[in-house]
Structure 1
Amino acid sequence: MPSSVIKYFSYDADRKTLKIMFITDMFYLYKNVPVRIYKMLKASGSKGRYFNSYIKDKFKFQKLEEE
């Protein structure tokens, strides 16, 4: 389902990192994210709501330069 907040996201299981591209075209890398969080984000009907409840302010992150 398309999100009004998140444009794209991917998960690196080896590094436990979740990369999110927001509709503003800004990329953020969230660290030490359990695979279950990624799977639930993927399955969520509202990506933005899930992000705000379970990812935002819960994991360390860094802003990435545009790719």
Structure 2
Amino acid sequence: MPSTVIQNTLYDPTTRTLSVWFVPSGKRYDYEDVAPATYAAFSKAFSKGRFFNEFIRDCHRYRRVA
């Protein structure tokens, strides 16, 4: 997953939770109620950061994970 903004992601389809680790801090945020189709499109997106900003960041509740 080459991205200058997103270090790594993990998706749990059972809970529809998308975990995102950001560059360079490595901090993790969990985004709630992300549809499987949204995650599939995110994983295929050429620009992960652009897709994240447009379709995930302000569209889903989130929490920082310590």
Please name the residue that 1:21 is paired with: 21
SS at match of 2:11: strand
In structure 1, the gaps of 5 or more residues are: none
Aligned: 1:42 with 2:43: yes
Aligned length: 65
Q: Point out 4+ residue stretches in structure 1 off by more than 6 angstroms.
A: none
Q: Deviations over 1:19-46 (max 9, x none)?
A: 0000121100000110011101100000
In structure 2, the gaps of 5 or more residues are: none
TM-score between the two structures when normalised by the length of structure 1: 0.94
TM-score between the two structures when normalised by the length of structure 2: 0.95
